[in-house]
Every structure is written in C-alpha cells, then in structure tokens.
Amino acid sequence: MSIKDDVVVRVAQRRDVPEMVALLSDDMLGQGREQGTDLEPYYEAWDEIILDPNAEILVLDLDGRVVAMAQLNYARGLGRKGMRRCTVEAVRVASALRSKGLGAILMENCVDMARARGCGLVQLTTDKQRTDAHRFYQRLGFDASHEGMKLYL
C-alpha cells in the first residue's frame, strides 16, 4: 500500500491553521516570509477567508496530520466572455513527503473543484526560484503563458 492510498483530501478547518503555517514555512522562501511563532495574523486571515464564498483551502490529511495544502480563489472576469476562473495559491507539500505523488493528488482535486464551480480556467503563479515546481506544474499540463508581476504595498 502506498502513501497515496492513505491520504484524505478535505476542506481545511480552523484547527488546521498551525499545521498550514508550518507548511508555508517549510522551505527556503517560506522561512523568510512566514512568521509562525505568532499565529494571530494567520487566524485573522483564516476567519476572513472562511467567510468568502469564493475561497476555500484544501488539505491532504495523512493519519490526522496536514501534509499538503492549496488555497483556491474563484472569480469571474469580463474577459473571455465572462469566464469563471480559479486561482490556486499557497500550494505546499511537506518537504519530507515531496516526490511521492501527493502534489499531483492535491492539484487534481483543485482542478476538480474548479470544474465543479463552473470554471473554464485554472491559473497559478509560482516563484521564479521554484524550478522544481515549474516542472511539476508543466507535467500536470499547466502552460507558462504569462509573466507575473507584483507591487508590494
């Protein structure tokens, strides 16, 4: 039996916040961005996200532990004939469990959720330094069709 057979995909709950923050911090980039010692800002964000009918967070649960996560945000745009789209963010798999197929399970479920919500497009951004992630998303059929930009305020 493989680890993939034991994992449960579910919508995140408030009690998962500490484990999700740990996942966000579980790499070189996240260590510099996330401040996991004070969880209050994360709980504030959770409380806002959970109230938004166009947002949800999926987790992979393995033996009662959150080992992967992704946030989905649904929006409709005027372009593409008003197409509804899903933006996937904060995709993380516990570093000790990478390359075991869990990321593919997570993303497959994200795509299924987007289809169920009537989305015609799933999009995401990934940091330019995450070259392994780029290859992963391309294997799943994602196309690097745009150049993303940010302005921090």
**pLDDT for res 36:** 63
pTM for the model stands at: 0.90
Residue 70's pLDDT band (cuts 50, 70, 90): very high
Residue 150's pLDDT band (cuts 50, 70, 90): confident
What sign does the dihedral 42-44-50-53 (CA atoms) show? negative
Average pLDDT over residues 97-105: 94
**pLDDT for res 148:** 83
**pLDDT for res 43:** 96
Are 29 and 92 spatial neighbours (Cβ–Cβ below 8 Å)?
Answer: no
Total Cβ atoms within 10 A of residue 71: 19
Whether 40 shows a pLDDT value over 70: the answer reads: yes
Phi, psi of 39 (to 5 degrees): -85, -10
**pLDDT for res 31:** 67
Residue 1's pLDDT band (cuts 50, 70, 90): low
